[in-house]
């Protein structure tokens, strides 16, 4: 039986450790292709036995998480919301803290303090205790273990002091309550920040939640875009969002495709043009036929790619994951050691020794390490997507940021792919107007890009009309045609000329009529891109199947020194291999004839329009074929990696400094809880800065 992909929506994950505990559970159950994302609340895996599903759901829920039908429509119960838990705890914690500043005698009463602390401690036990127990059971202890031990130690110590009436020096109810309340505040801020980091995917998903006007026998009906079937006829009017991918049957309109391509100028769409779901009609109206719906649509593929990319771990994250996995047991060990050394060797009292140990527990924050990479990756991918750049993996970002070589295909990548006639060399006995007429008549029958360019250019020039009886295309050679007088024509690749400038030859009844020199226009921004790459220490290389003379001419005009011309697809593979041995290599091509080389490179970049978005050979798809998006892509990747490194530095440095300070008794547990709560916010805040940061 073939393996099937299972997708589950799981709520309650709030950090990377949560995701790791679910990942470990699924691995133990022998499942494959496991993908757990705490930010998008998704769990995916492959299995050939669907009967294992109830057992898997039960296992996930036993870890303290909840499997729901749809995360978007799932309503969390009032008392389960972390915001409400924080408000409830804050109400009881405030008077406990006030007793330290106010002389009101009833606030100093141990029983009053116990009654104020008890509700907070119960909420903390349910919130952190349940999560701590589940994580230990799952084999990946999380931060909640430290919070639970720290707050419970303070509460039990205070309770013993109250029962035995040992005096106010044994009362630390405010420490217990404050630890719980401040960490809940940290969770609230963390949740809101993580929601912001996933906003790019959520924004795209909103584009799918629209209605469509379907044409039926008696008129029209309004249905949800989710209910549109392939082949349905739809009406889309000015101001409407196109509900699904399709083709225009009638009408014309200007369509804003900026949410797909990043291009702000509207595109005119007329009969037979392809249109993309989620784009908006700014003027005019269309009658369209749905061609791609549901998961086959361009928008669904973009969302799917982004979700996969957000879950793919760059190598730099693996260090953070390894540390986070062993961090909790190590911290508990340090806390115990702190207590033993302070109490027995240091001669401090039980109270001071316990406070030092609790401070060590609550100051530690493996969550910041777990959040360091995924939050930065999500924001980076989101910013890239809004610029029409689809990155198919978080691991791609690291490879791009360290790239040493960028290999470019020529046609359609550095050049526009639109050809112009540079020169027509007419043989004796033939007229230029007649030759133009023959070329137009023949090339009108072909769909080749060169043919379309020639027809467009020559149609406006003086010519004699030629009527053809038939025309057939010979792949890789050219076109053969017969006119109404029975004359045979061939228009194809130049074979006679020793001059590389002439690309095509035209024959009539096997006699040469003319030679045509055509040239591809270099993109206006190509020279600027090459200059920017060189400035960044990246070596640009031209790798093309075109003639050496033309490749050299293009390379010289835009500043590329290393050129590999006349290369077949299999030759390109070996060239890519040579550069990969020297350093990280990016290959940029049109995604079709370059697909083997795109796959072979460290990162393959497809310069393509949205209709070819599903090309699997490239790890990156540039929806906007403007070369400036290549620069933008490299800049976003470098700044995302820089943000990850900054986050990991802050997460590690915080713990390296904070734990010894707490162990030596220089840090109050309450201050520790506050700084711990905000260390997550610092890491996430640094990631969110990437959204608006000026990159160069």
- 404 and 529 both lie in a single domain: yes
Contact 216, 266 (CB under 8 A): no
Which of 12-21, 412-421, 468-477 shows the lowest mean pLDDT across its residues?
Answer: 12-21
We report the CATH number of the domain holding residue 237 as 2.70.150.10
pLDDT at 522: 86
pTM of the model: 0.62
- 441 and 398 both lie in a single domain: no
d(CA 333, CA 184): 25
Instruction: Indicate whether 456 pLDDT > 70.
Output: yes
Instruction: Indicate whether 246 pLDDT > 80.
Output: yes
The tokens for 110 are 């141990």
Q: Is residue 356 part of a domain?
A: no
Nearest to 277 by CA among 262, 263, 294, 264: 294
d(CA 347, CA 681): 37
Residue count of the chain = 696
Residue with tokens 């915001």: 83
We report the CATH number of the domain holding residue 632 as 3.40.50.1000
- 431 and 554 both lie in a single domain: no
Nearby residues of 51 by Cβ (< 8 Å), 6 or more positions away: none
Q: Is residue 580 part of a domain?
A: yes
- 443 and 514 both lie in a single domain: yes
Contact 159, 110 (CB under 8 A): no
Which of 1-15, 163-177, 191-205 shows the lowest mean pLDDT across its residues?
Answer: 191-205
- 530 and 500 both lie in a single domain: no
Q: Is residue 491 part of a domain?
A: yes
- 497 and 565 both lie in a single domain: no
Residue with tokens 């906007």: 624
d(CA 453, CA 415): 14
DSSP per residue over 517-540, as a string?
A: EEEEEEPTTHHHHHHHHHHTT-EE
Q: Is residue 258 part of a domain?
A: yes
Domain's final residue, options 251, 281, 302: 302
Domain's final residue, options 72, 96, 126: 72
Pinpoint the alpha helices (H) of 164-230: 173-197, 199-206
Tens of pLDDT, residue by residue over 61-71, are: 887 788 887 65
Contact 670, 175 (CB under 8 A): yes
DSSP state for residue 230 in the 8-state scheme = T
- Angle formed by the axes of helices 432-443 and 449-458, to 10°? 140
Q: Is residue 501 part of a domain?
A: yes
pLDDT at 611: 40
Q: Which residue has the higher pLDDT, 696 or 238?
A: 238
- 468 and 506 both lie in a single domain: yes
pLDDT at 290: 92
What own/partner pairs with CB < 8 Å and gap ≥ 24 does 462-467 have? 462/433, 462/436, 463/433, 463/434, 463/436, 463/437, 464/431, 464/433, 464/434, 464/436, 464/437, 465/437, 465/441, 466/434, 466/437, 466/438, 466/440, 466/441, 467/441
Which of 164-178, 301-315, 566-580 shows the lowest mean pLDDT across its residues?
Answer: 301-315
pLDDT at 614: 37
Beta bridge mates, 286: 236, 251
Using alpha carbons, list the distances in angstroms from residue 632 to 380, 384, 390, 470, 533.
11, 8, 12, 48, 11
d(CA 325, CA 472): 66
Mean pLDDT for 420-432 is 86
- 267 and 225 both lie in a single domain: yes
Using alpha carbons, list the distances in angstroms from residue 340 to 193, 525, 660.
39, 68, 15
- 506 and 531 both lie in a single domain: no
Nearby residues of 147 by Cβ (< 8 Å), 6 or more positions away: 124, 128, 132, 179, 180, 183, 361, 362
Mean pLDDT for 408-436 is 84
**Domain total for the chain?**
4
d(CA 7, CA 9): 7
Tens of pLDDT, residue by residue over 503-557, are: 788 999 989 999 888 877 888 888 988 998 998 889 999 998 777 877 888 899 9
pLDDT at 676: 66
- 625 and 550 both lie in a single domain: yes
Catalytic site positions: 409
Q: Is residue 179 part of a domain?
A: no
pLDDT at 488: 93
Mean pLDDT for 182-189 is 76
Q: What is the mean pLDDT of the chain?
A: 80
Q: Is residue 551 part of a domain?
A: yes
pLDDT at 201: 63
- 406 and 544 both lie in a single domain: yes
Residue with tokens 């990548």: 413
Contact 612, 422 (CB under 8 A): no
d(CA 506, CA 435): 8
Domain's final residue, options 72, 96, 123: 72
Domain region containing 266: 211-302
- 528 and 408 both lie in a single domain: yes
We report the CATH number of the domain holding residue 427 as 3.40.1110.10
Q: Is residue 321 part of a domain?
A: no
């Amino acid at each position: 039986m073939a393996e099937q992909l299972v997708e589950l929506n799981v709520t309650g994950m709030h950090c990377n450790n949560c995701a790791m505990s679910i990942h470990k559970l699924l691995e133990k159950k022998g499942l494959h292709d496991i993908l757990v994302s705490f930010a998008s609340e998704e769990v995916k895996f492959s299995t050939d036995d669907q009967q294992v599903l109830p057992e898997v759901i039960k296992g996930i829920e036993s870890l303290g998480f909840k499997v729901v039908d749809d995360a978007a429509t799932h309503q969390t119960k009032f008392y389960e919301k972390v915001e409400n838990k924080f408000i409830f705890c804050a109400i009881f914690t405030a008077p406990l803290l006030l007793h330290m500043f106010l002389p009101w005698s009833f606030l100093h009463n141990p029983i009053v303090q116990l009654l104020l602390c008890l509700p907070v401690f119960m909420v903390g036990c349910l919130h952190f205790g349940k999560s701590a127990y589940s994580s230990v059971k799952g084999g990946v202890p999380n931060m909640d273990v430290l919070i639970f031990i720290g707050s419970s130690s303070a509460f039990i110590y205070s309770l013993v002091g109250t029962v035995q009436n040992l005096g106010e020096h044994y009362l630390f109810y405010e420490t217990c309550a404050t630890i719980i309340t401040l960490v809940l505040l940290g969770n609230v801020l963390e949740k809101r920040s993580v929601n912001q980091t996933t906003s790019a995917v959520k924004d795209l998903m909103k584009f799918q939640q629209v209605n469509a006007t379907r044409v039926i026998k008696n008129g029209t009906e309004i249905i949800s875009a989710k209910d549109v079937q392939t082949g349905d006829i739809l009406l889309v009017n000015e101001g409407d969002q196109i509900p699904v991918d399709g083709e225009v049957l009638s009408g014309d309109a200007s369509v804003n495709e900026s949410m797909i391509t990043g291009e702000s100028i509207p595109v005119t769409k007329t009969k037979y043009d392809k249109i993309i779901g989620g784009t908006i009609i700014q003027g005019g109206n269309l009658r369209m036929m749905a061609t791609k719906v549901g998961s086959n649509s361009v928008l669904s593929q973009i969302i799917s790619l982004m979700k996969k990319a957000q879950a793919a771990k760059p190598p730099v994250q693996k260090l953070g994951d390894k540390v986070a996995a062993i961090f909790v047991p190590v911290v508990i060990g340090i806390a115990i050691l702190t207590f033993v050394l302070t109490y027995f060797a240091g001669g401090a009292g039980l109270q001071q020794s316990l406070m030092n140990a609790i401070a060590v527990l609550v100051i530690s924050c493996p969550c910041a390490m777990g959040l360091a990479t995924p939050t930065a990756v999500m924001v980076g991918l989101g910013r890239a997507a809004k610029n029409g750049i689809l990155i198919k993996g978080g691991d791609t970002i690291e490879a791009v940021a360290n790239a040493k070589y960028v290999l470019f295909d020529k046609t359609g990548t550095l050049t526009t792919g639109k050809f112009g006639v540079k020169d027509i060399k007419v043989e004796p006995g033939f007229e230029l107007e007649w030759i133009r007429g023959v070329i137009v008549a023949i090339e009108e029958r072909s769909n080749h890009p060169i043919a379309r360019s020639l027809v467009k250019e020559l149609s406006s020039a003086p010519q004699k009309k030629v009527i053809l009886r038939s025309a057939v295309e010979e792949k890789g050679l050219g076109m053969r045609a017969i006119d109404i007088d029975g004359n045979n024509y061939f228009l194809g690749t130049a074979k006679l000329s020793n001059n590389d400038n002439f690309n095509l030859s035209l024959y009539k009844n096997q006699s040469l009529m003319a030679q045509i020199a055509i040239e591809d226009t270099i993109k206006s921004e190509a020279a600027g891109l090459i200059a920017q790459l060189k400035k960044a220490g990246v070596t640009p290389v031209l790798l093309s199947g075109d003639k050496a003379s033309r490749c050299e001419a293009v390379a010289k005009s835009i500043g590329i020194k290393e050129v590999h011309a006349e290369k077949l697809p299999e030759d390109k593979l070996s060239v890519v291999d040579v550069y990969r041995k020297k350093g990280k290599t990016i290959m940029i091509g049109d995604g079709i004839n370059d697909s083997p080389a795109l796959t072979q490179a460290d990162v393959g970049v497809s310069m393509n329009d949205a209709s070819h978005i599903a090309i699997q050979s490239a790890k990156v798809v540039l929806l906007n074929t403007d070369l400036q998006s290549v620069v933008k892509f490299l800049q976003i990747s470098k700044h995302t990696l820089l943000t990850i490194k900054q986050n990991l530095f802050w997460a590690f440095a915080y713990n390296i400094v904070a734990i010894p300070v707490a162990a030596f008794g220089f840090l109050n547990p309450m201050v520790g809880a506050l700084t711990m709560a905000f260390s997550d916010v610092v890491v996430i805040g640094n990631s969110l800065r990437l959204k608006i940061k000026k990159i160069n």
